[in-house]
Amino acid sequence: MNESNHAPDVAESRLAGARIAYIFPGQGSQFLGMGKDLAEKYPIARQTFEEADEALGYQLSRICFEGPEEQLRLTEITQPAILTMSIAALRVLEGRVPKPTFVAGHSLGEYSAHVASGTINFADAVRTVRSRGKYMQEAVPVGVGTMAAILGMKAEKVEEVCRDAAQGEVCSPANINSPEQIVISGNTAAVERGAKLAEERGAKRAKLLPVSAPFHCSLMKPAQDRLELDLNKLKTQKPVYPVACNVEAVFVTNEQRSLQTLIAQVTGAVKWEQCMRLLIAENVQTFVEIGPGKVLCGLMRQIDRSRTCLNVGDEASLAKTQEQFGS
């Protein structure tokens, strides 16, 4: 038996009994040139970008590879761009490392997780997240809402800060990312009050984020209502792998429930830390972040340093991850 035929056995033996989760990043991980080297080297990655171009009716691939950057930053382009890049990387990775036991994705990344699990087909997902980005952008006039990152403050303290800062407006936790980082969202004045209060009450730091809309709070209800109509029209399948869903931090294993959680996610908080702890409790030892950037691996270091977190976002990280699996 030659070495290449033997590689999958080596991968299995090195991780005997160990559980793996594939995790997918959300908005903010995009960068100019993402996916270009994978598309140049691997036909399956190139085909994935071509499939997205066809589904959307414009050259998303060119915007990802060449820009302009301000176009890539538009929410309705960013969301399908990150999804496409993530699925291109996933398709290159498949067959090179062991399959996952579970999948999860951060906000937008939950759509990538459902594509990976076969719940939604790729072309439908690309079109849906383009609409999701557009609806989110249009739900709140520019300047009316914003978000802020609160660093080094416990979740219950952040909730108190939000309650006290609201003063009749919206201010609530939007992304519970790790023990070190929680993002709050709502009306601009309320979020600004929240950031100031958090620093006064002992947060290490509170900083307003350069976002185009106040995601994952009740101000997004108009976007949620529009997206619900789109999601309910999709053809879905039972997920192949259980998906750790953002809004409840529980496993979703049927297609109807999958759609309900994606709808609720528009106004609901992303409970990322709780999702990762759910996977850790299921004895997941190795996490593979698939898509642009390494944001989720950074959060994993804050959640549980004893876990291995690898990433696949370009040719170099793909080679390194394969090496780690011994394949």
Residues of the chain by 3-state class (helix, strand, coil), percent to 5? 50, 15, 30
Catalytic-role residue among 107, 112, 172, 258: 107
Phi/psi for 278 (5° steps) reads -60, -45
Catalytic-role residue among 61, 112, 216, 327: 216
d(CA 129, CA 111): 8
Give the angle 62-67-71 at the CA atoms, nearest 5°. 105
d(CA 320, CA 309): 12
> How does DSSP classify residue 99?
P
Q: What kind and span of H or E run contains 185? A: strand 181-187
Q: Is 107 a catalytic residue?
A: yes
Of 271, 273, 260, the closest CA to residue 172 belongs to: 271
Could you tell me which residues are beta bridge partners of residue 288? Answer: 22, 310
d(CA 108, CA 112): 7
CB atoms within 10 A of CB 6: 11
d(CA 198, CA 200): 5
Place of tokens 């990043």: 25
Q: Do residues 89 and 291 make contact, with C-beta atoms less than 8 angstroms apart?
A: yes
First to last CA, the chain: 15
What are the catalytic residues? 107, 216
